[in-house]
Amino acid sequence: MEITYGKGFEPVVSMRQKVERVQEALAKLPQYEPKTTHRFHAGMYCREVWRAAGVMVVGKVHKKEHFYLIVSGTVCISDGIGEPQRFTGPHMIESLPGTKRAVFAETDVLCMTFHRTDAITVEAAEDELVEEEEATMYSPGNLIRNQNQGVLR
């Protein structure tokens, strides 16, 4: 939805809409499948995601609060709310429900997310923790959803 405030004003586009537009553009390109490790322990789920320098990904909308840790490397992140920010690890972010991130890896990067859940499979955890989106490029486990597109590793 675009909102205008009168003749001569440009449409106001929210940061979330900008993230969604980035996702639309990325969907037309060969997809990057990040190396992802999944760990379940004591009511917690940890996703450990490696990204190569120069890669941009857009994640799904998160349903619950969680921690997002940049362990090493430098990223530029838009969380769909405020302006994009640059972080060099180690750096911890407290993520809120409704968050949808666009993340650009300026260097090789290791990021981890930590979630409270009683799930014991990746599929059950994603069902509980993220919203299903028709436009998403990833299926559970960070696997490329549309196998018809090229895959960059």
Whole-angstrom distance, CA of residue 108 vs CA of residue 73:
6
Residues 6+ apart with CB under 8 A from 103: 51, 56, 57, 58, 59, 75, 76, 77, 111
Summary mean pLDDT of the chain = 84
Residue written as token pair 């530029």: 76
Q: Is 40 left (phi over 0), alpha (psi -120 to 50) or beta?
A: beta
Work out how many domains the chain is built from and give that number.
Answer: 1
2 assigned to some structural domain: no
Range of the structural domain that residue 26 is part of: 15-138
Q: Which two tokens stand for residue 45?
A: 């789920």
Top mean-pLDDT range of 33-47, 70-84, 123-137: 33-47
Residue 4 belongs to some domain of the structure: no
Whether 109 is in a domain gets the answer: yes
**What's the CA gap between 124 and 18, in Å, rounded?**
29
pLDDT (mean) for 8-30: 76
Q: What is the CATH number of the domain that holds 74?
A: 2.60.120.10
Q: What is the pLDDT of residue 15?
A: 78
pLDDT digits (tens, 9 = 90+) for 29-45: 888 889 999 999 999 99
Is 145 within the bounds of a domain?
A: no
Q: Does residue 143 fall inside a structural domain?
A: no
Structure tokens at 79: 């969380």
